């Protein structure tokens, strides 16, 4: 969604270097206002894009920790 609205993401010029892409994604997910500034240089981010990215970040966190907890619980059962 963000790429569609902004036309280009900050790490797109580095796609040949997966490590750098990962570093940039991590950096910008820690600082969503900076990501919005980088994506929307001449305008402000439309609508609730920053909130949507924050929600995605939270859902991703919950999913990964829930999965880890479930795996840990299953391992304890066996």
The tens digit of pLDDT for each residue in 37-75 reads 888 887 777 778 878 788 878 787 787 788 888 888 888
Joined tokens for residue 36: 């919005």
For 29, phi and psi rounded to 5 degrees? -70, -20
- Residue 12 confidence (pLDDT) above 80: yes
- Residue 36 confidence (pLDDT) above 80: yes
Domain residue extents for the chain: 18-77
CA max distance for the chain: 56
- Residue 27 confidence (pLDDT) above 90: yes
More reliable by pLDDT, 6 or 13: 13
pTM to 2 decimals?
A: 0.62
Joined tokens for residue 72: 């840990």
Instruction: Give the H or E element holding residue 2.
Output: helix 2-6
Which pLDDT score, from 0 to 100, does residue 78 have? 66
């Amino acid at each position: 969604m963000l790429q569609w609205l902004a036309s280009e993401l900050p790490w797109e010029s580095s796609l040949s270097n997966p490590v750098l892409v990962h570093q940039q994604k991590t950096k910008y997910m820690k600082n969503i206002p900076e990501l919005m500034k980088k994506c929307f240089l001449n305008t402000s981010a439309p609508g609730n894009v920053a909130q949507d990215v924050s929600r995605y970040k939270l859902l991703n966190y919950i999913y990964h920790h829930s999965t880890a907890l479930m795996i840990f619980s299953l391992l304890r059962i066996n």
